[in-house]
Amino acid sequence: MNMLSKLGLAAALIAAPSLGLAQDAAEAAAPAGAVPEHSVFVLNSLLFLIGGFLVFFMACGFAMLEAGLVRGKNVTMQLTKNMGLFGLASIFYYLIGYNLMYPLGTWSVEGVLSGVWGPGVLEAVGVAPADADDLGYASTGSDFFFQLMFCAATASIVSGALAERIKLWPFLVFTIILTAIIYPLQASWKWGGGFLDEAGFLDFAGSTVVHSVGGWAALAGALILGPRLGRYKDGAVIPFPGSNLTLATLGTFILWLGWFGFNGGSQLAMGSVGDVADVSRIFSNTNTAAAGGAIAALIVTQLLYKKPDLTMILNGALAGLVSITAEPLTPTLGAATLIGAVGGVIVVFAVPMLDKLKIDDVVGAIPVHLFCGIWGTLAVVLTNPDATLGAQLYGIIVVGIFVLVASFVVWFIIKALMGLRVSEEDELMGLDKAELGMEAYPEFAKG
């Protein structure tokens, strides 16, 4: 060992005790399980970004589900609508919706109407660590990105229910109003600290704020549009088989995957041991609720129809996911499974009920997102001791009346100005050719 090496070793031996003392002091100063302050900011932002891109992938799931459940002559139109609605949601949530949804105490009408109208603004480029305290618990960019995905998902719910007979541009105009005003305004009442939040209404990740809103808007549109030609004839429901159940199944599994970001990201924190444990608990409950919904639909369709129905099973899984979304943290795994299973049963009975009422919902979006959104919101009282039945009903009723009335008004105005429904000739021909000038793809030609 040369002289320099000996000197280095001696210095290290001398410094070791003081380093150990410094480490002991740092550990004593920080509470168990804590991480450095700026790491909390980084980890929270990372949770939003990871959750956000998982929810973004749900856009692909909705597109594949709808493409698989519509007839072959309308597949390209459904894909076009999904591309258009996501792009418009991104732009108009930025221009109006984000600030309308999060007034940060700036209300025109306290707790009811935001006083912030204008585009969202991100933090400056290259934020210094010292500025993290001023930015809050996560970066504005990560929060905007995460919340935008929820907004776009709401519009996707409407798309599938009204498929095969609505014109493209009137639908996209409705999407603008929904994502810029209707969705953000009612979301501000809960997630923006508005009057529903103050009343004790609980909705962890949006069984009501997201899913029921999409369901109410879809219901209003379906009532105004009416059913597809030939769907109901002489008191019978005429089956319109989907173009590709492989695509529909793929879409369902993609939605299942994306829901981990939907619910897990809504923990809104990943800066402590408790937060990360809660996120993992949410993932597990989300998964088992979907499983409960799928298996319940499988069993019930076997009992009712003497054979399983794949489309009901797919919607059963989605129903379980919607049902657990209002409270994915507090249930046990068993309770979460049962909550999801009830959702699966609701779908199996709600789909034929709507058909009896001649409300034509192509993909089953209204039973899945509206009916199970209501059930999931009520189910919060079963596992969360802070929830009350009165507050949950209050939130469901307020949001339901607002969205249904607002959607009816918007649909009626669009119908008067632009028309909503394609002509009978165009509907029989198929929207791919009538609206887009395209023939059905060969693999979907039988539709």
Q: What is the DSSP string of 192-206?
A: TS-HHHHTT---SS-
Q: Which of 145, 248, 266, 280 is nearest to 211 (CA)?
A: 266
The pLDDT value recorded for residue 15 is 44
How far is the C-alpha of 145 from the C-alpha of 231, rounded, in Å?
40
The pLDDT value recorded for residue 38 is 78
DSSP 364: -
* Domains identified in the chain and CATH numbers: 37-120+135-444 (1.10.3430.10)
DSSP 33: T
CA 3 to chain centre: 66
Query: What pLDDT, in 10s, does the model give residues 338-354?
Result: 999 999 999 999 999 99
The pLDDT value recorded for residue 130 is 74
How far is the C-alpha of 326 from the C-alpha of 347, rounded, in Å?
18
How far is the C-alpha of 138 from the C-alpha of 289, rounded, in Å?
29
The pLDDT value recorded for residue 421 is 97
38-72 burial string, b = 16+ CB within 10 Å, else e?
eebbbbbbebbbbbbebbbebbbbbbbbbbbbbbb
- All residue ranges of the chain with pLDDT < 50 are 3-29, 444-445, 447
